[in-house]
């Protein structure tokens, strides 16, 4: 389940050679822009590549975020959090795993912060312009920092940013185990009205579900 969370997406004038100050300024503008979002409703396509086993998997996802709450629909799995508890529902087995939200975020990535991930403990590096689907975007790399940096399941997060729209259009999470996951944002809406039930797993809605509580 931890792998699922791990594998469970910007601008100043461009100078030929970007600097750390350029990256900081652009990410700061992104953060300022994000404060206007309110709730977020986005769809994306992810491609996971295991370079060691030559395995690839492509998934379509739908994520809804409101503050520290989220619902992530991955097709076979639905992950829901009210900010304190995380429920991971597996459709095929009709099982629901219950986890502590804070513990999971410490082990991997806090899904509710995926669109402002640079605000956590990261060093950044301005890479320059990169082409995606014949469009040019700013690439900034993030590297975990802090005391637990080496314990993170990833070593680099690559952000590809539309600097005119101040939006992240793609991010790539490069795992320490050789598993890389590419997230391409297909649609992005903000200020969407979401009922409170969006962020709570209601057991009665899933007849026969087995609840598995992994909290300590």
pLDDT, block means (10 residues), the chain with 216 residues: 43 38 90 92 93 88 94 93 94 95 72 87 92 92 88 91 93 92 93 95 95 89
Domain span holding position 108: 2-9+17-213
Edge to edge, what strands does the sheet with 179-190 contain?
Answer: 122-132, 135-144, 154-162, 167-175, 179-190, 40-50, 55-66, 69-73, 77-81, 85-90, 95-100, 210-213
Going by the DSSP 8-state scheme, the letter that residue 205 receives in this structure is G
Q: What is the CATH number of the domain that holds 29?
A: 2.50.20.10
Cα–Cα distance for residue pair 55/78, rounded to 1 Å? 23
Task: Report the chain's C-alpha Rg in angstroms.
Answer: 18
The mean predicted confidence, pLDDT, of the chain is: 86
Cα–Cα distance for residue pair 138/154, rounded to 1 Å? 21
Domain count of the fold of the chain: 1
pTM (global) more than 0.95: no
Going by the DSSP 8-state scheme, the letter that residue 5 receives in this structure is H
pLDDT tens, position by position, 94-134: 999 999 888 776 666 678 888 898 998 899 999 999 999 88
Cα–Cα distance for residue pair 125/147, rounded to 1 Å? 20
Taken in order 157, 74, 106, 188, the sign of the CA dihedral is positive
The residues near 175 (Cβ < 8 Å, ≥ 6 apart) are 6, 153, 154, 155, 181
CB of 72 closer than 8 Å to CB of 8: yes
């Amino acid at each position: 389940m931890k792998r699922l969370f791990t594998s469970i997406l910007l601008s100043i004038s461009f100078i030929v050679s970007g600097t750390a100050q350029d990256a900081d300024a652009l990410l700061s503008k992104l953060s300022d822009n994000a404060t206007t979002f309110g709730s977020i409703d986005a769809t994306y396509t992810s491609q996971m590549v295991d370079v060691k086993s030559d395995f690839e998997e492509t998934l379509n996802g739908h994520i809804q975020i409101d503050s520290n709450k989220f619902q992530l629909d991955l097709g076979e799995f639905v992950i829901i959090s009210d900010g304190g508890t995380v429920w991971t529902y597996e459709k095929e087995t009709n099982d629901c795993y219950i986890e502590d939200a804070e513990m999971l975020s410490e082990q991997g990535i806090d899904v509710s912060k995926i669109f402002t991930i640079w605000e956590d403990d990261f060093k950044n590096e301005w890479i320059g312009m990169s082409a995606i689907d014949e469009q040019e975007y700013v690439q900034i790399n993030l590297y975990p920092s802090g005391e637990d940096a080496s314990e993170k399941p990833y070593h680099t997060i690559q952000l590809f940013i539309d600097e005119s729209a101040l939006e992240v259009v793609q991010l790539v999470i490069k795992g320490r185990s050789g598993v890389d996951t590419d997230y391409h944002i297909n649609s992005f809406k903000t200020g969407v009205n979401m009922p409170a039930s969006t962020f709570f797993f209601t057991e009665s809605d899933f007849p026969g579900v087995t609840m598995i509580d992994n909290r300590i």
